[in-house]
Every structure is written in structure tokens, then in C-alpha cells.
Copies of this chain bind each other. A is one copy, B any other.
């Protein structure tokens, strides 16, 4: 509502080009030197922008990196592959593809680490990054229910709890495999993992 009218604040408007250049420069630097050696001064220089311009829009390194990495998740999409298993594998592989990019690898865990002491940051990560992926899982379940692969949810609370569990399992396993074990998340692994997960789910519900 506020931004719609936008009220034409007096003074020179902020340059849209600057924001784009800064986020792109941030990802470049992440790729080249990693999170811990990323410098706001360096980012500003590469973006051809003054440090003041950067600080006018982001309060610090963490916020900037979250936004820079979040843009990587814009491309997430879940093509309908026909079966629940195929859809899950799709989510897994898409997520893994993003995690394989050095700008995500380096930045993502770092901001998560920072977020353990900064609630505002955690919330920002949740909105910009986590929820973006969660949406895919929700969509997949809706499709599966439409296809009749899964029964409709009778209890909303129970449903939400299961959803969270599934999401933690999927996202957690992929991240752990990719970053901690440092092994490739390829089609083979995705198939094994999906089998484990779906068997667990269907067996559980038939209990």
C-alpha cells in the first residue's frame, strides 16, 4: 500500500542499477574469495559504487549476502514429472544444483551460522530462502494428492507438523550430503534418498 502510492519522496531517487550491480558484485566476490574474506569495500569497488550507497541499502555483510544468495533461488521451479517420486527427485536435484554453485556454498551456511545469534537475520533467511524451497514441497504434495498418490489431509495441525518434518529431512539431508560429507548429490543418490523417504511416509501412514 505504501509502495504503491510511493508518494514520490523528495530528492534524487535511488538508482535501481546500483542495487543490481551490488548484488551481482557480491556473488562474484563470493565465488572468488568466499564469505569470510568478502569485504564490503571490495564489493562496492567492483560494483562501481561508493560504500555509502551500499550501506544506505543494507545494514551489513549478512543482510547483503542473504539478498545476493536469495536471488539464486528465484529460478526454482517444479515441472510436473508425473509421479510423486519423480517430483521429489526433481526438488532434490534442483536444490542440490543451487548448493553446488560456489556463491551459494560459501555464503549460505555462513549466514545460517550467523543467524543462530541474530533473530532478524534468521527471519530474513526464512522468508527469502527457506520458504522459497518449502513452497516446492507443498506444491509437490498438493499434486500428489490430486493424482491420488497421497490421501487428503484431515487434520491441519498434524499435516503442518508432518510437512515440517519432511522438509527438514529433505533439506537437511541434501545440505549435509553436499556440504558436510562433500559428496555429489547426483541422480543415483537422489533416487535412493527418495525411495527411503517415500517408503517411510507411506509405511507410516498405513500404520
Interface residues of A (CB under 8 A from B): 34-36, 102, 105-106, 108-110, 112-117, 122, 125, 130, 161-162, 164-165, 167-169, 171-177, 179-183, 189, 192-193, 195-204, 207
Q: In the complex the two chains form, what is the Cα distance from A148 to B202 in whole Å?
A: 24
Q: Which residues of the other chain, B, contact A165 by a CB distance below 8 angstroms?
A: 189, 192-193, 196
> Known contacts A36-B114, A200-B200; is A169 also within 8 Å of B193 by CB?
yes
- Top 8 A-B residue pairs of the complex, sorted by shortest distance between their CB atoms: A200-B200, A172-B172, A172-B176, A109-B113, A199-B203, A110-B113, A196-B200, A172-B173
Which residue of chain B has its CB nearest to the CB of A33?
B117
Is there an interface contact between B200 and A183, defined as CB atoms closer than 8 Å? no
Q: Which one of B162, B176, B204 lies within 8 Å of A175 (CB-CB)?
A: B176
- The A interface, classified by DSSP as helix, strand, loop or mixed, is helix
Cα–Cα distance between A203 and B199 once the two chains are bound (Å): 6
Q: In the complex, which residue of chain B has the Cβ closest to the Cβ of A112?
A: B109
Complex CA gap A159/B112 in Å reads 32
Chain B residues with CB under 8 Å of A116's CB are 34, 102, 105-106, 109, 179
